[in-house]
Amino acid sequence: MSAQRQTCLPIDEVLKTVTQVETEAHRFYDLATAITGDDEATRLFATLRSDMITGAESLKQICADFACGSAALEGASEDDLYFLSVLADTGFYSRSLTPEKLAEPGLPTAQLLGNAMQLERDLLLFYMKFHGVSCAQHRPVFSGLIARGQRHMAGLNNLQRRLKQR
């Protein structure tokens, strides 16, 4: 393996970014739960909000378990690290998907659902990339976050379909 491919991000840096992502997603679902006028959407958004809290807690536990700063992302190419850095630096989770923009009071439930689906797609991309370059000991957490995102997308799609049938 080349020296370039051994360049790694410290796990504490990764977890800081990922925890920020989870916090912003939680804030979005918190606002969406509060403003939607649809009972079914309120229940779904509340469930998704709860999942984001659980995800953030899991990430904090990784930090404690694996002594942040000593572990790193392995097998990451320069392109992988660049991609992750761009995602983190642009703050896709805190600027383009700000809870305030995505969950404005008076926003129709259908648009909230669309915004939630965009958030979940972006989170899936983010976590899939982290999974691909993370150390074997950290992959189960990223796998769990990916599976959670897939469940979220299924729930959001089902609700969107039911709302269109009303």
Q: By three-state DSSP, how is residue 10 classified?
A: strand
Q: Is 108 helix (H, G, I), strand (E, B) or coil?
A: coil
First to last CA, the chain: 57
pLDDT for the residue numbered 59: 67
Q: Would you state the pLDDT for residue 6? A: 39
Question: pLDDT digits over 135-151, tens only?
Answer: 777 778 788 889 999 99
> Into how many domains does the chain fold?
1
Residues with Cβ within 8 Å of 164's Cβ and at least 6 positions away in sequence, in order, are none
More confident residue, 78 or 45: 45
pTM: 0.74
pLDDT at 88: 64
More confident residue, 33 or 16: 33
Per-residue pLDDT averaged across 35-55, rounded? Answer: 88
> So what's the pLDDT on residue 142?
82
Contacts of 166 (CB under 8 A, 6+ apart): none
CA 55 to chain centre: 9
pLDDT for the residue numbered 13 = 67
Q: Which of 91, 81, 115, 102 is nearest to 9 (CA)?
A: 81
Report the pLDDT value the prediction gives residue 5, as an integer from 0 to 100.
37
What's the mean pLDDT in 67-91? Answer: 62
Instruction: Return the pLDDT at 53.
Output: 78
Higher pLDDT, 52 or 4: 52
Q: Which domain holds residue 100?
A: 4-165
CATH number at residue 88: 1.20.1260.10
Tens-digit pLDDT profile for residues 17-27:
777 778 888 88
